[in-house]
Homo-oligomer: A and B are copies of this chain.
């Protein structure tokens, strides 16, 4: 009974598989993805693979150049700034307008607690993924499927950038307690304060990521 009953379409499955590899860093920014090579590697036809490419291109994880092929998207300072702008717009508003009994609040708290436990174990991978869960839950406060889907996409793009950065401790550890403060303010009904705290959080996080990114980028300007 562990198998999938509903045979999902092939292209979305391929896209998911590729997305995982992109986020895991198995496929590196700037790298070209050969249709011929990948289609035999993944044991599917070129046509099916091209459908998957189109999906991931639309998500911003791949870049498509006509008659030249698809490449893993190369994060840039501009894209990071853009992504944080999106996050501030959506997350802060979701938090400001949230009502404190929303089911997503429980998920926020749970993510905070799990992140704290992982932090004591120095399990930075889990700290990072619980941080993602926390922010996805914030967006979920707005009760909008479309915002959720859009945010998932933005988060995947951001994780592509994170892949370039070396130090997950620096990247995620400092924010566990800030997250805790946010959820506490929210639970207390202080949505405006929670939102303000989140904005400060995001600004600080953006600065950290940009600084780390610039250090990489100036050594290796074109992302090869």
Q: Which residues of A contact B (CB under 8 A)?
A: 6-9, 11, 47, 50-51, 54-55, 58, 60, 64, 66, 82-83, 85-86, 89-90, 92-94, 97, 142-147, 150, 154
Contact = CB atoms under 8 A, between A and B. Distances in A.
A82 B143 CA distance: 8
Interface of A is mostly: helix
B66 A8 contact: yes
Nearest to A66: B9
A5 to B, nearest CB: 12
Contact of A145 (B58, B82, B97, B143): B82
A57 to B, nearest CB: 9
B50 A82 contact: no
A147 B93 contact: no
Given A6-B66, A51-B51, A146 B86 contact: yes
Contact of A50 (B51, B83, B93, B146): B51
